[in-house]
Amino acid sequence: MLGLDKKDALLFLIVVAMVVLAPFILNPFPTDSSLAQFNAGYPDLMQRFLIFGIFAVGFNILFGLTGYLSFGHAAFLGVGSYAGVWMFKLLGMNVLLAIVSSVLMSAVFAVVIGYISLRRSGIYFSILTLAFAQMSYALAYSVLSGITNGETGLQLSHNDPRVLGASVNADGSLPVPNLFGLEMRATETLNIGPWAFDFNAGYYVCAVFMIAGFYLAIRIFRSPFGMMLRAVKSNQQRMHYTGLNTRPYTLAAFVISGMYAGLAGGLMVSMDPLAGAERMLWTRSGEVVLMTILGGAGTLIGPVLGAGFIKYFENIFSKINDNVLHGWFAFMPDGLENAVVWILHPFIGKGWHLTLGILFMLVVIFLPGGLVEGGQRIMGLFRRSPKDGAKQDTEASKHPAE
């Protein structure tokens, strides 16, 4: 199917099903339930799942295949965001214009940064990319404030010289991003008993690009180009000894990865036309590294799972506070209830990073292949005998499957 073998086709169909059915999957609890706060099926969060999934899938093409660890990929996310907003301001509000410009500008930026950074490898490459990202942040924040609007961020205004559309609506409001007239914020709600499911136009636009990006990643992984990148990761020095120049391959991987980041930035501003310098910060680059490693670096679906996991923690788990905990443990005696809440307090709300850090350490120590390896081990318990399952776990830890 679509040039994929049986295993990859099944994985692709699983991702498509997860993306299409997300409004149902992410809303397992009734709206009037005490557990409804764990629902993640609202449009803004679902869009973030997909956008950062694209970001992580692209990063994995570089890091997972070549082993080059970039600490500056947020620069391409920021460049894509700025390019998208400028396209809205100058041409029109069709999201395709913004997305195409974001991808192209990120590609040009990636060529320049990659050409310089890839002269070094290992930690030196990582530091170079980090330096470029921080310089980009400084330029966007202050030096180029005439283009980026500095700390305020670049956004739409009533004075935009929009060529393919009106600068202001008839009622005086600013136009909104759309796809040939379909507004990205348009949402239909389906009520089934106590459940409410939101179907958002912007989400499904992101879904199309997520599915296309994931399919392209599969083809890259299975192509001769992908095999060459794996060889670079395995032993680049040996390849140099044979007379093979690996730089064109690593530069191509870097540019493709940067284009994925630019696509994510373009989709961000297509959902909310605002771009700020904070998207270029090193913390954003570190976030995509965590997503990829947590899900499973070098695997196909791992970065998608890692992105969803971290964004869920950031938007859902971080909202738990002491009042919620008191509600959960109200059945306990007052003294015991207060003690339990006191123990859990540092791990919730603003302290959600502490919980995420602990989970990340556990995954790195016990599941080197990330969440994908964990899923494989669970599946292995049901498919094989205990003896075979133990053998499979050992092999999986050495060679995490894709």
pLDDT at 240: 83
Range with the largest mean pLDDT of 23-32, 43-52, 228-237:
43-52
Each residue's pLDDT tens digit, 136-169? 999 999 889 889 998 889 999 888 888 888 888 8
Backbone angles phi, psi at 199, to 5 degrees: -115, 105
Evaluate whether 50 touches 308 at the Cβ level (below 8 Å).
no
Burial class (CB in 10 A: 0-12, 13-18, 19+), 11: middle
Each residue's pLDDT tens digit, 287-308? 999 999 999 998 999 999 999 9
Each residue's pLDDT tens digit, 371-388? 898 888 888 888 765 555
Question: What are 20's strand-pairing partners?
Answer: none
What fold characterizes domain 6-281?
ABC transporter involved in vitamin B12 uptake, BtuC (1.10.3470)
pLDDT at 396: 47
Mean pLDDT of 205-211: 96
Give 3-state DSSP helix, strand, coil % of the chain, rounded to 5. 70, 5, 25
Distance CA 58, CA 278 (A): 20
In the predicted structure, residue 114 carries a pLDDT above the cut 50: yes
Distance CA 157, CA 41 (A): 31
Q: How confident is the model at residue 121 (pLDDT cuts 50, 70, 90)?
A: confident
Each residue's pLDDT tens digit, 313-365? 888 888 888 888 888 888 888 889 899 989 988 888 888 888 888 888 888 88
Q: Which residue has the tokens 């990859």?
A: 8
In the predicted structure, residue 60 carries a pLDDT above the cut 80: yes
Distance CA 354, CA 203 (A): 30
**In angstroms, what CA-CA distances link 208 with 11, 47, 202?**
16, 12, 10
Mean pLDDT of 272-282: 91
